[in-house]
Structure 1
C-alpha cells in the first residue's frame, strides 16, 4: 500500500513499545525447561511439563517474502496442537520467548515467523504491510504442517498475536478466514485497517488488554471484541500497558494456557480455572467470560 492508514501510523509512532527485544536463542538448542520426554496424550490434556526444543524453518512465500519461522516444540512422541503466533511491529518471535515457551511446555507446538517488512531487522520496513500478513500466516501454517507432519495434530490449530500481530490474527478470522483455526488469542489487538466481519465456523477468542495501552487503546480492543459473535472472553489488566504479557507475565501465561487447554484439548477443568487464574494477585480479571 502506498498510503499509510491512520491505524498503522498510530502504531508506527510508538513502535518502540513493541520492540523491547530479548537476546535471540540458539535455534538448534534445547530450551532449559522442567520435565522429561513424554508422549503426547492420546486423549485429554497433558498432566506434565514438557522439555522444549527450538529450530528455525527457512520459509518464503515467493521470492520476495522470506518468512523464517521459529518453532518451539515439546519433546515427546505423537502429535500436539499447534499455535501460530504473529509478532508486533519492529519486533520478532524471540521477544515473546517466555510466553511461547510456556505454551510449548504445556504441550503445544508454536510456529512464529518473522514478517518480511515489519520485524525489527526488516531491510525495507513498512507498517502497512500488516495487511499482507494474514496471507503469510495461511502459507506458513501450510508449510509447517508439511515440515512436521508427525508432530502436529492438524485438527487442532489456533492463532495468536500481539499488537500488529493481533491485528494479523484478526485478519485470519475475518477477511482472510482460515478454517483450520479452532481458537485465537489477541494481545493488544483490534480490527484490520479495512474492517471485515468475523466469519466462518465459530472459534472461541480470548482478548488480552492493558487498560493503559496508548497504542491499541482499550476502546479499540473492546470495539473488536464487541464485533465477535462467537464464544469469547476479555482479560483486562487495569495497570497494563501495550505489553500486558510483560506487565503481568504469570497471569497472562496461566490464563492463556488454560484457554489453549480448553479449546485445543477439550479440558473443561482448565476452562473452569480461567476466572481464578485471571484474577490471581488482584492485578487482572476476566470482565466477561465464555
Structure 2
C-alpha cells in the first residue's frame, strides 16, 4: 500500500511543483532524432539520483522549530522544492522515513513536524492546524540553518502534504483556515487519504 501512495505522491509532485521535467511511472526509453543515443528517465519506483541526508531537529536546536522536525534533503548543491508533510493520527514522523528518503532522492526537501507527543494527548483539529502553520512560518527564516551547506529550499515551490488527519490539516493550511499568518504561498497540495481522524 505504501508503494501505491508513494507513486501517486511522486507523480503529483512531478506535475505540480512547476518543474520542467517529466517523471513517468515506468522506465521510458526515447531514441533521439539527432543521434542514436538512448536517454532514460528514472522510474518513481527506483531510488532517485540524489544522495540524501536526514536530520532530526529538536526544540533545543539553535534554530529551534516550534515542533520537532524530521528533515530529509539532497546533499547535492542546489535549490529544491520543499514538501511540508504532516503525519496521520497516532503516527510518528519517523514512521515515514523510508518515504521521505525516497522522495528526497528525487530532488525534494522534506520537512515533517512531529505534532503529537503522546497517544494520551492529541490536539484538536484546529490546534493541529495552528501547529502546522507555525512550522510553515518557521521555514522562511530558519530552514536554511538545518540544511546541508549550499543546499537551499525553494519556498516559491512549497508543497503541503499529509496522510490521514495530516492530509486534512494540509488542506486547511492550503485553504487558509488558520489564525497564523503564513509568510509563504503554497504552490501545491497533496492529500494522502485525507480524513478527519479523531
> Which of 134, 138, 141 is the matching residue for 2:139?
141
Which 5+ residue runs of structure 1 have no aligned equivalent? Answer: 1-42, 192-214, 217-290
| Match in the other structure for 1:158 | 159
SS where residue 121 of structure 2 aligns? coil
Structure 1 pair 144–185 and aligned structure 2 pair: CA distance change class (3 A): farther
Which structure has greater strand proportion?
Answer: 2
SS in 1 for 2:107: coil
Match of 1:70 in 2: 70
Question: What is the deviation of 1:131?
Answer: 4.1
TM-score (norm 2): 0.61
> Which protein, 1 or 2, shows the higher relative CO under an 8 Å CA cutoff with sep ≥ 6?
2
Structure 1 residues 253-272: Cα deviation after superposition (integer angstroms, max 9, x where no partner): xxxxxxxxxxxxxxxxxxxx
**Unmatched 5+ residue regions in structure 2?**
1-18, 23-40, 42-47
Match in the other structure for 2:55: 55
Does the CA-based 8 Å contact 2:87-2:162 persist in structure 1? Answer: yes
8 Å contact kept, 1:134–1:171: no
Report the TM-score, using the length of structure 1 for normalisation: 0.43
Structure 1, residues 84-135: CA drift from partner, whole Å, max 9, x if none? 11111211111112222221011001011111xx24x46x612414243332
Equivalent pair of 2:160/2:186 in contact (CA under 8 Å) = yes
Aligned-residue RMSD, C-alpha: 2.9
Higher helix share: 1
Separation in 2, partners of 1:171, 1:139: 15
Shift of 1:57: 1.9
Shift of 1:180: 1.9
Distance 1:114 1:184 in 2: 19
Deviation, structure 1 residue 59: 3.8
What number of residue pairs does the alignment pair up? 143
Residues 140 and 162 of structure 1: is their aligned pair in 2 closer, same or farther, counting only changes over 3 Å?
farther
Contact preservation (8 Å) 1:55, 1:72: yes
Alpha-carbon distance change, 132 to 81 in structure 1, aligned in 2, over 3 angstroms? same
Q: Is the 8 A contact 1:84 1:141 kept in 2?
A: no
